[in-house]
Structure 1
Amino acid sequence: MAVSLKGCYTVKPWEKTWCGRLALSELDQTGQVTHVPTLYFYHPPENCMYSTIASTLRDSLSRVLVPFYTLAGRLHWINNGRLELHCNASGVSFIEAESSSSLQHLRDDFNLYHLLFPTVDYTLPIHQNPLLLIQLTRFSCGGVSIGITISHVVVDGTSASHFVCEWARLARGEPLQTAPFHDQKVLRGGEPPSVPLTECDVHAEFDRPPLLLGKNDNAEERKKKTTMAVLELSKTQVETLRKRANGNYSRYESVAGHIWRSACMARGLKEEQPTLISITIDLRRRMKPPLPEGYFGNAILDAVASGLVGDLVLKPLGYACSIIRAAIEKVNDEYVRSGIEFLKNQEDLRRFHKDSIAQGSENEAFYGNPNLGVVSWLTLPLFGVDFGWGKEVYMRPAAHAFEGEFLLLPCPDGDGSFVVALGLQVEHMDAFKKIFYQDIE
């Protein structure tokens, strides 16, 4: 299936915006420092011309970059794995493409998704890459897709969804609903420290994850081929897992615990193998006071639950859920502040990067075999994104094939069903799918 590029534009803010250097928070500079892609598929009405769609998207993108001016800037390395954002209105990339295939064909084959969103050349210096890249693809059936690739350094899932929803509002001719809040001072380390540094020793999320027994490093696991799968859990299946966990745990805790146990079994891990699950937590309502409405940046921190494989797979599901809940409940204002102070006092942040593009980084924070990382998009406004020609017919993360990483999404109809997008080593994927469903039945 071929996708041909028809045009590439640099879209800049509609009017003059603030320019200067913006210090990022410590939470912006750890975790994933690459871009994250998302795809939206649309069937516009027959009377909606493609040229109108393209011009509407470009014009509204230019207008929304005025309040969201940080996305039109560029990142610069400072030193030792630290980054700074230069707000300079350099603009974002907007690509137009077309395909001879139908929307349905592309929608059903996520192995082809990479053709529908812009790629980022990480061999270039970081300041040469836009923070936001958009690809509009027209299909032979008249449908279109919008591929959005956005830097995780400047947004988390909540902020990315905020931007997309406001962009769509402006495209429909409506006013901005919630302006972004750009001052990262509320999540930066204090002078003097806001909490005693001795409190920072309890942050397991900053420790190196366990290795496979008998291994001195994870180099071999990194080299193994991974693949992506998208699995669905019906509302009945989700409730079955909750009941199996004695009904005392949330849907999220129950499904995450089930994923963790299933992965341990599919990987064939020994009972004495230590394993952890890294759980991404939204901090916006956990801080005191809560972060300002529209906080635009990374307001997430990983909570870590750990245990032995034998305990996880031999004990009831409720055991896995209990240690997941205990890890989540630790994440309060004081815990977050101490974590920020810990990061601030690190000489080099490169070991805390995932999928790193930092020169010289060994990307030591590997959450693959025997570990997992789980991200929840269950509460994000993912669906119903209308740019003026109707809501999307399909939305998916464009790629999620990193070993051991799972993404939980709600089903579009809101009936309580879940979608699980996951990446695992090829050799374990079939076993995981079988165990994942068989254990529910």
Structure 2
Amino acid sequence: MVSSPLVFTVRRRQPELVRPAAPTPRELKQLSDIDDQEGLRFLIPVIQFYRHVPSMAGTDPVVVIRDALSRALVPYYPFAGRLSEGPNRKLSVDCTGEGILFVEADTDVSIDDFTAPLQPPFPCLEELLADVEGYNGVLGCPLLLFQVTRMGCGGFTVGILLNHTMADAPGLVQFLNAVAELARGMPAPVVAPVWQREVFGARHAPEVTRIHREYEEVEGSIVPFSDMAHRSFFFGSREVEALRARLPPQLRRRSRFEIVTACLWRCRTAALRLDPEEEVRVICIVNARGGNCTPPPLGYYGNAFAFPVAVTTAGKLTGNPLGYALGLVRKAKEDVDDEYMKSIADLMVLRGRPHFTVVRSYLVSDVSRAAFEDVDLGWGKAAYGGPAKGGVGAIPGVASFYIPFRNSEGEDGIVVPVCLPGAAMERFVAEMEGMTKGPPASEKEVGNGSSGTILSAL
């Protein structure tokens, strides 16, 4: 017997502005040239679920969080300002101290009413995220929107909408940890915030020195994502090992991110049934806080990543073994270094801050190490913490996040929300099951992982 989907509503109080608890500087602070690109000018939804804790009985999470937010906005005062746009579409924060939007809400449902284990897509998600007319833009609007919803079980959710130009996942988690530390009674955040957006600024004489196919102008239209189906897919040790078995020996030690990305890209392309000669892309978000890049200062909370892209044709991607896709993903990731980041910043200035290419593109972002679930507001770790759904801005179906997850059997791994048209989703599920269950059908399916074959497609 199939249970009915969970349907509920919340009772919202009138929205209010939470201002810094003490006076803050009134100044204009420029964003970096990585921050203010078109592809980050949207609100990204995050949600945290917290269970009832007997020791916290009688403590109102709304009061605790609202007060901690006000105190956190003193060191993080740019969040309390508003964005303005100057010449050449340059974004700056006018540090007005106006505050962030806060909504108090209640619902009768329990966390246990949600399908276990907790994972996207969440039913009635829009009920748990602040939706206030006039406050969902980019310019002249609050840069953070919080909704704290008390639940019938004594637990609560914290729904967050972040203006992505202000911070990436590690930056938001840094701010949330500051709020959590203050909520737990600490006198100040452990990590002091650092602005220094010039670290990712363009050079005085901008010059694009690298190839950035992620910002190419590509003809064509986005796949018409109507009749959308949302599903999440778990990758634990069994699934990842099944994928490794489909790789030649010299590629089997590659990272989980590269292997899972190669699999998803290949299966998604096959499910969409594109013309074999059509160009397809996977965009891998690469963190510039490490790897081949010099990390920004400790406490930096701006966007610090690149959108490198792997490109091939649908026919080559689906007609070759998995190692072919993995090689393309690996090459794209390894291109990102300090010069690559400077080249992007310069490109933004020279080309008017374009959006990354979304035509026949699939974007993946690994937030499994961002530690949203570790944010402890006094009620312990979150039962779930992280992206509220897949998607980039108003473009459904283009992106997936890799979220840390423990399945019902107690196995740790990642869960990946995927959004596709209904018929394509059915084909995607079949493709995924074929890749992650059982050994490869033949040696041909594994291939030899020839780097010459991989590089010839670039």
TM-score band, normalised by shorter chain: 0.7 to 0.9
Distance, in Å, in 2 between the alignment partners of 1:36 and 1:22 is 22
Alignment of 1:10-409 (within 5 A): 10-30=17-37, 31-46=39-54, 48-49=56-57, 52-79=60-87, 81-106=89-114, 110-119=122-131, 121=133, 126-174=138-186, 175-193=188-206, 197=207, 199-200=209-210, 202-209=211-218, 217-218=220-221, 221-222=223-224, 224-246=226-248, 247-286=252-291, 289-346=294-351, 348-349=352-353, 351-352=354-355, 365-367=357-359, 370-401=360-391, 402-409=396-403
How far off its partner does 1:198 sit?
5.3
Long gaps (5+) in structure 2: 1-7, 438-458
Partner AA of 1:245 in structure 2: L
Is the Cα contact below 8 Å between 2:367 and 2:402 reproduced in 1? yes
How far off its partner does 1:57 sit?
0.7
Distance, in Å, in 2 between the alignment partners of 1:224 and 1:56 is 41
Is the Cα contact below 8 Å between 1:74 and 1:88 reproduced in 2? yes
How far off its partner does 1:278 sit?
0.8
How far off its partner does 1:124 sit?
7.1
CA distance change for structure 1 residues 299 and 279 in 2, over 3 Å: closer, same or farther?
same
Distance, in Å, in 2 between the alignment partners of 1:198 and 1:2 is 50
Query: Is the deviation greater in 135-144 or in 75-84?
Result: 75-84
Provide, for residues 78-133 of structure 1, a one-character-per-residue CA deviation record: whole Å limited to 9, x for no partner: 24543221111110111111112222224666131121011254687744421111
Provide, for residues 283-330 of structure 1, a one-character-per-residue CA deviation record: whole Å limited to 9, x for no partner: 122576431112111111101001122222222111100111011111
How far off its partner does 1:436 sit?
1.4
How far off its partner does 1:332 sit?
0.8
Partner AA of 1:315 in structure 2: N
CA distance change for structure 1 residues 420 and 181 in 2, over 3 Å: closer, same or farther?
same
Q: TM-score, normalised by structure 2?
A: 0.84
CA distance change for structure 1 residues 126 and 38 in 2, over 3 Å: closer, same or farther?
closer
How far off its partner does 1:153 sit?
0.8
Is the Cα contact below 8 Å between 1:279 and 1:303 reproduced in 2? yes
Is the Cα contact below 8 Å between 1:102 and 1:140 reproduced in 2? yes
Q: TM-score, normalised by structure 1?
A: 0.88
Partner AA of 1:387 in structure 2: L
Is the Cα contact below 8 Å between 1:263 and 1:432 reproduced in 2? yes
Is the Cα contact below 8 Å between 2:288 and 2:294 reproduced in 1? no
Provide, for residues 395-416 of structure 1, a one-character-per-residue CA deviation record: whole Å limited to 9, x for no partner: 3422224222111112258955
Distance, in Å, in 1 between the alignment partners of 2:367 and 2:254 is 18
Is the Cα contact below 8 Å between 1:94 and 1:134 reproduced in 2? yes
Query: Is the deviation greater in 325-334 or in 77-86?
Result: 77-86
Distance, in Å, in 2 between the alignment partners of 1:17 and 1:309 is 53
CA RMSD of aligned residues (A): 2.3
Provide, for residues 361-391 of structure 1, a one-character-per-residue CA deviation record: whole Å limited to 9, x for no partner: xxxx325xx3211111122112222111222
Distance, in Å, in 1 between the alignment partners of 2:306 and 2:36 is 12
How far off its partner does 1:49 sit?
4.4
Long gaps (5+) in structure 1: 212-216, 354-364
CA distance change for structure 1 residues 179 and 245 in 2, over 3 Å: closer, same or farther?
farther
